C-alpha cells in the first residue's frame, strides 16, 4: 500500500517553494511505488533513499499529495510517519547484528 504523510515542510526543491510531504510504500515495494508515482505524474527517477530516510520515497507537494490520496494512497499523520521510520531503522539495526 502507498502511504503519504502530512509533513508539510516548507522549503525550496528545484524551482518549487511549497509544502513538501513524503510518499512511500508500507512494504518498501519499489516497483509499486514507482508505478504509483508515474500514475500521478511523478518521474520515477525522482525517488530518493538516504541514511536519514532509509525507505525509498518521493517528496511530494501538497497538490500531488491530494492527487495521490484520490488515486488510492492512504493518508497518514506525520506522527505515524515518524513511528514507521523509527521501526524501520530498528529493524535494519537488528538485521546487521
Q: Are 43 and 83 in contact (CB under 8 A)?
A: no
Mean pLDDT over each residue of the chain, to the nearest integer: 91
Residue 92: CB atoms within 10 A of its CB come to: 11
What spatial distance separates the first Cα and last Cα of the chain, rounded to whole Å? 29
d(CA 24, CA 31): 11
Q: By C-alpha distance, which of 55, 13, 8 is closest to 33?
A: 55
Global pTM reads 0.86
Q: Which three cell numbers stand for residue 97?
A: 547484528
Predicted confidence (pLDDT) per residue in 14-57, tens digit: 888 999 999 999 988 999 999 999 999 999 999 998 877 778 99
Burial class (CB in 10 A: 0-12, 13-18, 19+), 66: middle
Amino acid at each position: 500500500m502507498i502511504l503519504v504523510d502530512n509533513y508539510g515542510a516548507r522549503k525550496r526543491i528545484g524551482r518549487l517553494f511549497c509544502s513538501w510531504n513524503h510518499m512511500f510504500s508500507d512494504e518498501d515495494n519499489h516497483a509499486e511505488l514507482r508505478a504509483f508515482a508515474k500514475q500521478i505524474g511523478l518521474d520515477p527517477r525522482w525517488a530518493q533513499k538516504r541514511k536519514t530516510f532509509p525507505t525509498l520515497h518521493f517528496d511530494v507537494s501538497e497538490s500531488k499529495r491530494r492527487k495521490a490520496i484520490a488515486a488510492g494512497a492512504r493518508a497518514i499523520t506525520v506522527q505515524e510517519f515518524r513511528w514507521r521510520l523509527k521501526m524501520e531503522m530498528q529493524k535494519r539495526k537488528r538485521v546487521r547484528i
